[in-house]
Every structure is written in C-alpha cells, then in structure tokens.
Amino acid sequence: MGLFFSQPAVAWFLPAIALPVLFHLFFRLRRQVREFPSLMFFMRIDPKLSAKRKIHEWLILFLRCLFIALVVLALMRPRLEVGSGGSVARVVLIDNSASMAAVGADGNPKLTVAARVAEKIATSAQAGDATAVQLMISDSQAGVPGGFNPDTAALREALSKLEPTDGSANVAKSIRAAFALLSSAKQPVRELHVVTDLQKTHWSRGEVETPPENVRVVVHRIETPALTSGSVSLEMAPLPNRALPTGRAIAVKAALRNHGPKTALVRINTTDDAGKNFSRDISIPAGESVPIGLTFSFASTGFHWARIWIEGDVAPSATRADLGFWCSGVQRALFVGSRERFGALPFAVAPGGNAELSGIEAVAVSADRLVAELAAKPLAVAITWDDWPQDGAAVKALETYVRQGGTLFLIAAPEFGTTVARPVAAWVGAGAEALRQMKESESLVALQADAPVWRDLRDAEGKPKLGTLKAFAYRPLKLEKSWQPLLASVGGATVLAQRPLDKGWIYASGMALTSKWSSLPLKPGFVVLMQNLVFGERTETIPVEGLAAGELIPFNFPKESATVRSLAGSALQWQGKPEDFGGLARCGVYEIQQKDKTRWVALHSVADEAAPEYLSRRSVPLLKNVPHDVVALSGEENASPEGIVGRSSRPLMGVLLALALVVLLAETWLANERGSDFGRKLFDSLLPSAMKRKAMRKTQPAVTR
C-alpha cells in the first residue's frame, strides 16, 4: 500500500496554509474600547469570557488553515495504492512522433524521458506479471522487441537507442492495438501506460471505444516548456502524381512557418541526385508564414530525387522533406491541321517553339496522318470543331486512344465565318452551338474549384485565380450529364468543360484561344492552365510515391519477399516478407524491389508536429469514453516505479474535497454563531435544550436584589 500524487506540482501552493495566520496576526480589525456607564458591568465580567473567546478564535483559525490544506492536497490528485490480489499485465505505449524530439521541462529530449519511464515501468514487474512495450509509430529501425515479457537486455538496449521519427502518430489506432494485446493477457488486472507529450494535433483526431474489462489507463504527460525564441517548420505542397518531362523546370512550392514569439533567421538548403546544391537565407517574423518557390530539373529519364532541409532557428521537428520525381523523354502534342488554327495554344504548350522549356513538342499533323500518329501514343491531341475527321478509321483510332488513357482537346477555330460547328462522334457526348458575338464583353466565372486543371492556379482560399475574364465571342457547349463545366458565362453558357472516358480525358472549349474571342490568352495563368489541360488527368502509373513519414507503405505484392534500401536519409537495408516490415518512420528516399518490379518512396515530415500546442487538461478528449488518469511528468526523476505503477489505486480527491466542505461548514458555524441571526438559529437548532439553558446561565451575570 502506498500514496502518490498525480499532480505534485500543486504542492507549491502549500505555503498558502499560513495565510489565515498572517491575516489573524497582522491584518486583524482592532477595535478601540470607549468606556461609558452602561457598559461598565459587562466590562467587569469580560475577563471571565476572554479565555473561551481565545479558544474559539484559535479553533476558527485552525479550521481555516485545515480547509486550505485539504483543498491543495485534493488538487494534487492523490491516489492510494492497494494490492489487487493478482498478477498484472502491462502495456507501455511510447509516443515516438516528431513532437517528442523537443526538449522537455527538465532539459532532456522528451523521447529520452519517455524511454526511461517506459524502462522503469517494464522493469518493475513482479513474479507472474506480463509487460510489453509498443511504439505509436511503427519503426523498422527501432528494434523494440514485441509481445509480452521480452528479453530485458534487448529491451533496454532498444530503448536506450530510441530516436524520434518524422511522422505523426495515429493515437486512436495505437491505443486500440494496445487494448487488443491486453485482451490476450491471462492476468486478472491489466494496465495501459501511455507516455506522451499530449501534442494537440494528433491527440485531437479520432476516438477510442470503451476498453476491455479490468483495464486501467494512465496517461503520463511529459511537460513541454513554452517557446522563447523563433521556431520554424517546413510545410510542403504536394507534387503532381505524373511523369515530368526531362529538362523541364519543375516548380516545387513550400512555406516556412515561425511558431515562436520572435523573428527567426533560417537557411533553406536543397540538393539532388546530380549533386546540384542551393542555399538561401530567409527571415520569418514571429507567428507568420513565408511562401517559397524552388525549382529542380533533371537531364535524364527515369527516377530522380531531391532533398530539402532548413537550418538555424528551426523547430525540433518538421524541418526536412525528400522528393521523388519520375522523368520521361520529350512528349508530343498533336495539332490536327495548321498551328495557326489553334491560336495561342501551341505556344502555351511549347514556349519558344520547342521542347526545351516544357518538355513538350507541339507537332502539326494532317488529318490523313492521324491514325499513324496515334499509334505512337502522343501526350495529347487537339482538334478544332470544324476540322473533326470524317474518316471512320480516324474516328475509331481517336476513340481507342482516349479510352486507353489519352487526352483529347476540342477547340473552336479562330475564324468567325462558320456559324455552326461540324457535328462530332456520339462517344464524345458534346457539341458546339451557333456562334455568339457580343457588342459588349461578357464576364466568365471559373467552376469546379477542386478540379486538377486548376492546380497551381488557386489562391489561399483554394479558389481558381485567373483575374477578371471577359468573353467577346463563343459557341455555347451542348453537353451530356457526364461533362463537368470549368468556365461559364454569367448568362449560364458553358464555354470550357471536361469529362473522363475510361482511362482518358476529353476537354471541350467553345472559344478560340485568341484575344479576339476572350481575354484568357492575355492572363498570366494561361500557360499553366493550357499545360494542365494538355497533360490531363493521366492515369498512367508511375513507380514513385510521395508520403508522409510513418504512413503505411503499400507493396505491389503483399505476399512476396521484398527488399527495401535507403538511397538518401537514414541508412536502411532490409529484406523479408511485407507483413514483417516495421515501416518507414523518417524522411528519406527508399527503393523497394519485388520480383522484377522496382518502386521508389520519398518521405517528408509532418508540418503539424511542429505546432507548440499541447493538451494540459486532466482528462483527454480522445479518451472521453475511457476512464483514465493523467499524470504530469516534469522529467525522469519524478517518475519512480512507486509513483507511476500501481497494482490498483483509489483516487482520494473526492474524499479530500468532501472533508474540506465539512471543515468549511464547521468554520462558518463557529465564526457566525455569536454574531449573526443565521448563526444563532443554527446554534439553537443543533444544540439540545438542556445544553442551551446551561450555556445561557453561564453567560448571564448574577443579579442581587
């Protein structure tokens, strides 16, 4: 049996017990006595009552001190440990997320404190107990032995070498896995000890169901000091999941966020697999975010990687990112007919008239060459409504090309002479109506804000930003239900739309891409929009995937042996069955080989882990359905086995608060029974009549007649 306190830091308020004594001795209201005849009789009997009055006052003073002491002790949340009468199964769940890399209140990294606390809990087991240690983020490089009662030497060695990850923990999933392990234990009493910093981001996601029977849940919260300087994290924007042309400048967007109270100075660094390096110093004001743009280019086809990291006044986590790229050779975009009939589109697709800048070659082909050119699988095909092929073989080849993953772009010809467009094949599901020419321009609005064609064109609110668009002429599109409008006039006419067709995409425009039809070709985002349309939403599978550290790694063949090795970042060489792989918990570039297939995975850190926001409540919202206790740990030194491990414990906070209430009522009664109507009435109701008569006789003076 033992006593420990869940909130020992509240003991700093124990000196407040002396406050009533100080007020009694130094701030007491002192009355001045003025003698006059009517009071002289009572002054003669006053010495007889002074002794009783002093006892009365000291008793009130004692009760006031006792009340404060009981309240402070109750706020320290004491627990009385008693024997359970049986063995105990314990699972220690260590939070090894990125936020645990920060320094705790004792000056040591929080993960180091967590590992030492876990070791103390694990080594405090008695005969018949079972103990297991689990990590919130699966880490193949940690080497923590699994299951109950692991080898003590191996466990201590693994915990001593435990390092933070770059990922964000799925707390609810981790706790469910711990409950499942406890359910398999044979011991009658079960305990789950979670050692964490209660970082707000990942402790606010999800919900945990009611635990199995006889499970005690204790959350050991490692305290984190407040920031006093700049603390910058790296936030990455997602890369397009498609092949990128070689030689093309690949734009990568990121942001640097300062979580600290002071301006931070950092240096952002980049490198790639060709050895090209870049550095830049940036100042970030307190509490603000600064967007940055980076570019990479690769001269050869195949897989390439790049690394980004920051130095200086940085956060303890979310400071690195690894990127993977799949580069293809020069791709061709076909324009059926002459290039002039497509307005500014060929120049937007291939700036400079060649593939040096975009990696796309704009090629004009005649209609009789279309079938042969489609066999080479071009990137995209553009045709005007007026030049739709009449050859059945060409139409069939065009349909096959689109259904197999190609991109078709139907566009209005720039001449105003033709008022009605030529009909196209039924499988297209669209047509252009009669030409409309306005004396005054008509405004255009962007639709489908989440459509991929608007990538790199959205503002901070996620809306497409092209500025004010005006149309001077257009052919309203007549579309089937499968089409999605992208641009429409304020009058309701659709002028740009998209639709999927099996694996490919079709885009239709009721406007020619010249300044005589609209102001779109004059906008800065026109080139980006046209390249997004030409690339389309290609469904080709590239062997490169970008993930956040700690995410599940998908294997192409879950039952086949795999080899995983690191190309950049933490050293790793692993081989075995996918179900035995612990996962990738740190930033880096990794190559995965199975059979004759090779894939690459690039991992980046999780920006939310750098946010200095922690839960300080005595109960955790994620565990609202689970009875639990939160124990504050300022460091390893106050994490003794007696204080954090109990075979069973009973909270004493309620008992102490009840005693404090009784003491408060007693103090109120004693302080008011002489001087108030309420006190006299309470005094009269509580004392027996005989005692009241005796008390009255003692207080009344004898009268001589």
Q: For 673-695, what is each residue's pLDDT tens digit?
A: 554 555 455 445 544 554 445 55
On whether the CB atoms of residues 519 and 470 are closer than 8 A, the answer is yes
Neighbours of 154 (CB within 10 A): 12
Final residue belonging to a domain, choices 502, 518, 535:
535
Mean of the per-residue pLDDT values for the chain?
Answer: 84
- Domain membership of residue 189 (yes or no) is yes
304 burial class (0-12, 13-18, 19+ CB within 10 angstroms)?
A: buried
Distances (CA, A) of 456 to 252, 526, 575: 10, 11, 39
Residue 168, both tokens: 């964000």
Lowest mean pLDDT among 243-252, 319-328, 474-483: 243-252
Neighbours of 156 (CB within 10 A): 14
Domain count, the chain: 5
What's the rounded mean pLDDT across residues 17-25?
79
Specify the amino acid at residue 586: R
Please state which of the ranges 2-11, 109-118, 374-383 shows the lowest mean pLDDT: 2-11
> Quick one: 383 and 529 in the same domain?
yes
**CATH of residue 132:** 3.40.50.410
Which of 290, 323, 356 is at the close of a domain? 323
361 and 507 both lie in a single domain: yes
Asked whether residue 265 falls in the same domain as residue 369, the answer is: no
Looking at the domain assignment, is residue 703 inside a domain?
A: no
630 — pLDDT class (breaks 50, 70, 90): confident
Say whether both 370 and 494 belong to one domain. yes
Note whether 400 and 426 are same-domain residues: yes
**Distance in angstroms (rounded) separating the CA atoms of residues 45 and 391:** 129
Cβ distance 418 to 410 under 8 Å?
Answer: no
Same-domain pairing of 11 and 91: no
In this predicted model, what pLDDT tens digit does every residue of 129-162 receive, in sequence order? 889 999 999 888 888 888 888 888 888 899 988 9
CB atoms within 10 A of CB 380: 25
Say how far apart CA 455 and CA 148 lie, in whole Å: 50
Residue 340 DSSP one-character state: G
Check residues 407 and 678 and name the one with the higher pLDDT: 407
Q: Please indicate, yes or no, whether residues 87 and 70 belong to a single structural domain of this protein.
A: no
> What are 427's two structure tokens?
């499988």
Residues 341 and 477 in one domain: yes
Domain closes at, from 323, 348, 365: 323
| The dihedral formed by the CA atoms of 482, 484, 490 and 496, expressed in degrees to the nearest 10 | -110
> Which pTM was predicted?
0.65
User: 5: left (phi > 0), else alpha (psi -120 to 50), else beta?
Assistant: beta
For residue 502, give the 3-state DSSP assignment: coil
Say if 162 falls within a structural domain: yes
pLDDT per residue as tens digits for the range 528-546: 899 888 876 654 567 898 9
The pLDDT of residue 636 is above 50: yes
Residues 300, 370: one domain? no
Query: How far apart are alpha carbons 72 and 65 in whole angstroms?
Result: 11
- Domain CATH code at residue 267: 2.60.40.10
The domain in which residue 567 lies consists of 544-604
Residue 257 lies in a domain: yes
343 and 482 in a common domain: yes
Please report how the helices 677-686 and 653-672 are oriented relative to each other, as an axis angle in degrees rounded to 10.
Answer: 110
Residue count (the chain) = 705
Residues 6+ away with beta carbon under 8 Å from 560: 578, 594, 595
Residues 475 and 526 in one domain: yes
Mean pLDDT, residues 268-279: 95
Residues 116 and 103 in one domain: yes
**The tokens of 77 are what?**
């949340």
Instruction: For residues 494 and 492, give the distance between their C-alpha atoms in angstroms, rounded to a whole number.
Output: 6
pLDDT at 641: 45
Answer yes or no: is 685 within a domain: no
Q: Are 479 and 510 in contact (CB under 8 A)?
A: no
Q: How many CB atoms lie within 10 A of CB 15?
A: 10
Query: What angle do the packed helices 19-26 and 40-75 form, to 10 degrees?
Result: 160
679 found inside a domain: no
